[in-house]
Structure 1
Amino acid sequence: MCRTYNAAGPGPDPCATIAGVDVVTAPGPVAEAFAARQQAWEEQHLSPLAARSYPARRREPEPDCGLRTPLQRDRDRIVHSKAFRRLKHKTQVFVAPEGDHYRTRLTHTLEVTQVSRTVARALALNEDLTEAIGLGHDLGHPPFGHIGESVLDACVQERFGRPFRHFEHSLRVVDVLENDGQGLNLDDDVRDGILGHSSRAPVPRTLEGAIVRIVDRVAYLNHDIDDAVRAGILREEDLPAEPIAVLGDVGSHRIDALVHDLVEHSARAGAIVQGERAGRAMDELRTFMFDHVYLGAAARREHAKIEHVLRTLFDHFTGDPERLPDGGGAPGADLAQRVTDYLAGMTDRYCIRIFEALTVPEAFAL
């Protein structure tokens, strides 16, 4: 039931005498004024360097929503996508962790997004654009984290001579694979930020995209340290002394220091930049984490298992593509893309289940 609300409580029901609500031809006074009010607010409150919410720049033009900016609408499309829901069962660092408190690809995404919004607000940039990019940046990540991406890339390179990069696949997810093959028709600034979030990709054209690019690294370095300590792979005293002395000996302190450094240096530069000292400390921590966690002994032990699982599935479906469910999910794509789309979309547990179905004999009924 449609009701109005004010300080005195619910008012009369304006929808009681009509069969339906047509928000396009009869949007209502709030919706009619929304876009103009939002644009006026942005001109008054946002930095001249901030991206603007209007006009939407989509591949397929469509009417704007009367109660959300185009960027808020993109945020909602991402959150309601199937790929976003699958992130809760995708590895961040630790494969199928038994504890309840380890990060997943979904919790990583949420941490990146909320820290990025903090930076955007402090710099008077567009929080809605920052949020949409943050929520969508890892939609194309395959199962089993960075190891899974490395294995899938090697498989596709060896068989078809093309790379697999999760940031490119994230864009493919929102452009092609979601919404039953129609894509989400996102604004170009959101698409650009999703593609450019990785240090291996071209730098995003907006400052909001550049925020997510740096904060992604800030977030994963610090929460991966936390998870590695929780898993017993690291001890706090193992961390390199110099960057810890610069940034702090607690994860929350390190994130706070890096965010303050990023905001202050960016405000002075008119660009999204880190200070030299903080940036160097973060790079040292990143090198340490690759040596001791991401490519350390524990990760290498799991790497062989993950490679066996993914290569078995890759070889099976490239050798017998008729077994790809729904043709791989992308009608019209070539074999390499169809197999890649299917495997990259898997959660860790679904990938293991399909592997077991192919390789483990079923129990015989007696």
Structure 2
Amino acid sequence: MTIREQTEELEKKTLSPLAKLSRDAVREFPLEPCAIRPAFQRDRDRILHCKAFRRLKHKTQVFLSPEGDHYRTRLTHTLEVSQIARTVSRALRLNEDLTEAIALGHDLGHTPYGHAGEAALNECCPHGYRHAAQSVRVVRVLERDGAGLNLTTDVLDGIACHTAGAAAGTLEGRVVRYCDKIAYLNHDFEDAARAGLIGEADVPWEIKYTVGRSKSERIESFVTSLISASADDIRMAPDVQRAFDALKAFMFEAVYHNPVAKGEEGKAKEMLQGLYRYFVGSPDKLPEEYRRIAGAEDVDRAVCDYISGMSDRYAVTVYENIFVPRSWGV
């Protein structure tokens, strides 16, 4: 037996009957199996080494271009989601490799400037824009010069279903969906507290009473509840779920809709929509790979792909090169 086959046999013996086994994975296009890595581990590696994953380190999580080294970026958010989700999956004896692959890939389609960028593209692109769908497009169509990463269907499903709408077809995908929210609600609270927007004293007492008075206590409470209450599906105990929903409502009111935290978002939206209009009107100015997409699909699709893949600072650089006059030099 190869190392991969030994690992697959171990999965069959040790994982929950509800876990997705690597040996049952289906890939979009046939691919010779690896002698060492099962299918989901191979997907994890493909995501980890792709260009879109590296760009996450320069994409906004909540605070736009914050001054300070300790605020989260889209990359650090992704890593925190992965770690929390792996903890839950391991405790439930689900497939940790599948969970990790979904977690690492779930935000690859996020725009520069976070949800402000997503809203900007959704308003001006006739195709609409959802970062979950774009994340799937990144790994299926855009990576590797248009060849895609050829991931398994279960990883694609988990990425596509990590936000609203239908739940993922696997419990591993549903774990990531919960843990994405656990991660961002708690680390965004910490970032907002560092910025002086809120503090622990502002957290409603019903939340503190049920799940704790610090970030680490809350994460532990949510994770523990997911592990203890989940059976045929992924869920929290009712009282913890109510506290979770209350924390989410508190964060939207105090942080995500806070005019101080979001004061620059209008400028970000105008910048991205200005870039969108420019490239739709001048598709010949697009990089070659996106001109190919414009020819094969349409210009709006190509421009949306190009802008959504930009990092925050690259979007500023492109905008300045196009719209900001340069100093005269002799």
Q: TM-score range by the shorter chain?
A: over 0.9
Q: Is 1:143 the equivalent of 2:105?
A: no
Q: How does 1:194-273 map to 2 (within 5 A)?
A: 194-198=159-163, 200-266=164-230, 269-273=231-235
Query: 1:298-317 residue pairs with structure 2 within 5 A?
Result: 298-317=260-279
| 2:252 partner amino acid | F
Larger-gyration structure (1/2): 1
Give the drift of 1:110. 0.3
2:41 matches 1:41: no
Q: Of the candidates 160, 168, 183, which is equivalent to residue 133 of structure 2?
A: 168
1:327 CA displacement? 5.0
Name the Cα RMSD after superposition.
Answer: 1.2
C-alpha contact (below 8 Å) 2:8/2:38 kept by paired residues: no
CA contact (8 A) 2:15 2:93 kept: yes
Match in the other structure for 1:20: none
CA positional deviation for 1:300: 3.8
Choose the corresponding residue for 1:95, options 21, 43, 64: 64
- The CA distance in 1 between the partners of 2:329 and 2:158, in whole Å, is 54
Q: Which residue of 2 aligns with 1:118?
A: 87
Q: Which moved more, 1:241-250 or 1:141-150?
A: 241-250
Partners in 2 of 1:70 and 1:219 — Cα distance? 26
Distance 1:277 1:100, change over 3 A: same
Is the alpha carbon distance of 1:42 and 1:245 closer, same or farther for their aligned partners in structure 2, counting shifts above 3 Å? same
Q: Return the alpha-carbon distance in structure 1 between the equivalents of residues 226 and 291 of structure 2.
A: 40
Deviating above 4 A after TM superposition, structure 1's stretches of 4 or more consecutive aligned residues are none
Deviates further, 338-347 or 34-43:
34-43
Q: 1:290 corresponds to which letter in structure 2?
A: F
Higher relative contact order (CA 8 A, sep 6+): 2
Structure-2 separation of matches of 1:330 and 1:238: 51
Distance (Å, rounded) in 2 between the aligned partners of 1:184 and 1:201: 25
| Alignment match, 1:189 | 154
Write the mapping of 1:60-79 to structure 2, written as runs, cut at 5 A: 60-79=29-48
Unaligned runs of 5+ in 2: none
Task: Please give the TM-score of this superposition, normalised by the length of structure 1.
Answer: 0.87
Partner of 1:278: 240
What pairs with 1:274-353 in structure 2 (closer than 5 Å)?
274-328=236-290, 331=293, 332-353=296-317
Q: How far apart in 1 are the matches of 2:240 and 2:288?
A: 48
Report if aligned partners of 1:90, 1:348 keep a CA contact under 8 Å in 2.
Answer: yes
Checking the alignment, whether the CA contact within 8 Å between 1:246 and 1:281 is kept in structure 2 is yes
Q: How far off its partner does 1:239 sit?
A: 1.9
Pairs aligned (count): 328
1:237-286 alpha-carbon deviations (Å, 9 max, x no partner): 122221122111110110000000000000xx321111111111111111
| Counterpart position of 2:144 | 179
Question: Which residue of structure 2 aligns with residue 129 of structure 1?
Answer: 98
Does the CA contact (< 8 Å) of 1:47 and 1:124 recur in 2?
yes
- Mapped partners of 2:119, 2:46: distance in 1: 29
CA distance in 2, matches of 1:219, 1:330: 37
In the TM superposition, residue 358 of structure 1 has moved relative to its aligned partner by: 1.6
**Which has the higher mean CA deviation after the structures are superposed, 103-112 or 308-317?**
308-317
**Paired residue type of 2:175:** I
Give SS of 1:301's match: coil
Structure 1 residues 174 and 146, CA gap change in structure 2 (3 angstroms): same
Structure 1 range deviating more: 223-232 or 313-322? 313-322
Q: For the residues of structure 1 that align with 2:254 and 2:138, how far apart are their CA atoms?
A: 32
Give the TM-score normalised by structure 2: 0.96
